[in-house]
Structure 1
């Protein structure tokens, strides 16, 4: 793959730079550059208002959702143009974090499975940042076994064709800010667990939907519990056929791992900069051979992530859909982020236990460390991703699954009542 800009790409890059120079919210740049994964990017103003304003400005100029068709609010740009935009947007990309799930996961699923009328109605407000979407998948009793979910959807007995949903979801990112959600529920407990699922989308303002933010160890509440109490969903808001929910969910999951893995920063530039500044035994840390060795190890992983992501984008540019190999980026990035943060705190010594305005680097690495364990669970745990890579990429024998062909209602539940 040639990483030099073609003549057309160079012209596009110049166009992007000119627009950003004229329109980017430069008064927020310093805050955005100081932000790290796990800490708030903006404190001088309402971060959600700033994010929506930036997304709206991009949408009005044709820079929103560059990979989407224009008729759905996108930019209809090539994968490489999308890469160039990301490179040039830089720190301002952090303003788009509330929309990552909608743009990278829910939107592509709606685009693949909804009716044309629904696409025209739901996707443009999502692209412009007017509406935010969340992904209602994980459940308390399911762990990483998505197909083991217990939220039930049954047909209403009034002949309307509507579905009545009862159950609970957990670890739902951004649910407290979301207008719409993508929901997978069990509609048939009499068949094996992967076959009895159905996918829906619904307004988060629907009566019976309750969102409870979860206070995390880093002091934030990015994740939520979501409860469904006799929530009524029209059958017209079903994606795919009844019982086809697992197949629909794979569209979401493949895009999820591409979005998370390709867009996740490990914090390496920040660590490298820190090692240039901090002193160890009276000398800059980078002068120490052991420190340089550690930096080199992380740099190799960072480079591998970069070019693995480029391969995925090359596949997309050829019209291919995201595949199981995209699990590699998410698996490596999450572990590297945690390793890097722990090493940075080791370099800080006793001051590494401080996390306030007096913390070294403004508490950047403390924030990364507190948030990083979640990266190894969300979007598929490390163990699940290794199984996917081993079985679907390397062709290794699959795990023994004793519940594979067992009706869901007959699967033991460790003391819980059957569905």
Structure 2
């Protein structure tokens, strides 16, 4: 694989940097850099800026409103956005449902929903996990019973990320109870304004609110909202998860977080030395950086392969495993670098002397605790190893 950018790719990289310098609002970049919570308005604002440029749906075909970018261009765009501290693109509509509709949706569904994803009229969330069906997704119990030209849905979903902002949810529901569990699941689109739906917030360990429980009580959904055929939801779910796991790897996020960690390690001193010059910390930092460089190359190879095949393969499980482990390792090193200043409430930990905490790093504890989950969601890393063993090693 040629690891040197071509002149055309270098020109694209310069174009992306110029666009970000000109169009990324400084206040949004500051919030991302300082790990402040983004509002729905913040995320919608960046979504609209990218859509106006035509750079929103990087993985969609041009005829559907996508960019038509190569795998390398997608990688460059993601890396430059993270380096510039741009808000992440909310993935549920663009990177999950969009590819599903392009692959399995009817022409009517594509014409109805794809433009609404692009222009921001629809904000989607994901209804997969349940209290008894997380990594074992085939155990889901939310039922959809056919009643004429509607399904009646009853059940519960959990860990619904950013559901408080959404107006629609794509759900896996059980439409058949006999046979193998995987054979009785369907994929449906639900308007969250439908009577019988209740969303309740779940507070996280660091105090944030980004996930929810969703309850369905006799919710009537048109059969026309079924994607694909009835009882083929497992096939669609696996296809969607391949795209989700590539996104979870978060190569760009890790690159930017590592740069911040290096900067921090040049400022913190231990025993009269800069932390970055101490042998143990330097060795740990080097190990993470080597792993990240290897993952960058693997990510590029997989993106290029997916572009040829039209979809990523089971090897995305490897990206998900390594990507989440690396992100957690960087969070852990940042916490070690800050020492007592990494406490969730540093002003209390330091007897009120909050000035000892670098402003840009004061939220490291929040990132550390919040990112403990990333090796679990999207299918736990243990499940990913099973997928690799079965799908690639036979």
* TM-score of the two chains, using structure 2 as the length reference: 0.91
**2:121 match:** 130
Match of 1:81 among 64, 73, 78: 73
* Unmatched 5+ stretches in structure 2: 348-353
- The answer to whether residue 59 in structure 2 is matched with residue 67 in structure 1 is yes
Matched, 1:289 2:279: yes
Equivalent position of 2:350 in the other structure: none
For the 8 Å contact 1:55–1:96, the answer to whether it is kept is no
- 1:74-113 Cα offsets, whole Å, 9 max, x none, are 222222222222233335564234x212211121112111
Q: Deviations over 1:188-215 (max 9, x none)?
A: 1112101111111111211111111100
For residue 7 of structure 1, what is the aligned residue in structure 2?
7
User: What are the Cα deviations for residues 167-222 of structure 1, in whole angstroms up to 9, with x where unaligned?
Assistant: 00001111111122111111111121011111111112111111111000111111
Q: Secondary structure of the residue that 1:95 maps to in structure 2?
A: coil
Identify if the C-alpha distance between structure 1 residues 140 and 200 changes in structure 2 by more than 3 Å, giving closer, same or farther: same
1:217-236 maps to which residues of 2 (within 5 A)?
217-236=205-224
CA–CA separation in structure 1 for the residues paired with 2:330 and 2:77: 27
Contact 2:248–2:374 (Cα < 8 Å) also in 1 = no
Q: Is the 8 A contact 2:30 2:85 kept in 1?
A: no
Query: 2 CA distance for matches of 1:29 and 1:249?
Result: 34
Matched, 1:380 2:367: no
Matched, 1:140 2:128: no
Which structure 1 residue ranges, 4+ long, deviate > 6 Å from structure 2? Answer: none
CA contact (8 A) 2:142 2:174 kept: yes
Please report the RMSD computed on the Cα atoms of aligned residues, expressed in angstroms: 2.0
Closer/same/farther in 2, CA of residues 237 and 92 from structure 1, 3 Å limit: farther
SS of 2:88 mapped into structure 1: helix
Shifted more, 309-318 versus 16-25: the winner is: 16-25
> How far apart, CA to CA, are the structure 2 residues paired with 1:362 and 1:2?
36
Q: Does 1:311 align with 2:310?
A: no
Aligned to 2:229: 241
Query: Deviation of residue 72 (structure 1)?
Result: 2.7
1:342 aligns with 2:341: no
Deviations 1:361-383 (A, max 9, x none): 54232112111221011101121
Identify the residue that residue 168 of structure 1 maps to in structure 2: 156
Q: Is the contact made by 1:71 and 1:120 (CA closer than 8 Å) also made in structure 2?
A: no
Counterpart CA distance in 1 for 2:132 and 2:144 is 17
- Following superposition, the deviation at residue 64 of structure 1 comes to 1.3
Corresponding residue SS for 2:181: coil
Check the 8 A contact 2:140/2:173 in 1, yes or no: yes
Instruction: Please state whether the residue corresponding to 1:66 is helix, strand or coil.
Output: coil
What's the CA shift string for 1:307-359, capped at 9, x where partnerless?
A: 11111111123234111111112212222333333333333333333535624
Matched-pair contact (CA < 8 Å) for 2:172–2:233: yes
- 1:145 deviation in Å? 0.5
Change (3 A) 1:87 1:141: closer
Q: Distance in 2 between matches of 1:307 and 1:185?
A: 37
Q: Distance in 2 between matches of 1:351 and 1:367?
A: 12
Aligned pairs for 1:76-225 within 5 A:
76-91=68-83, 94-97=86-89, 99-156=90-147, 160-225=148-213
Where does residue 47 of structure 2 map in the other structure? 55
Matched residues, number:
383
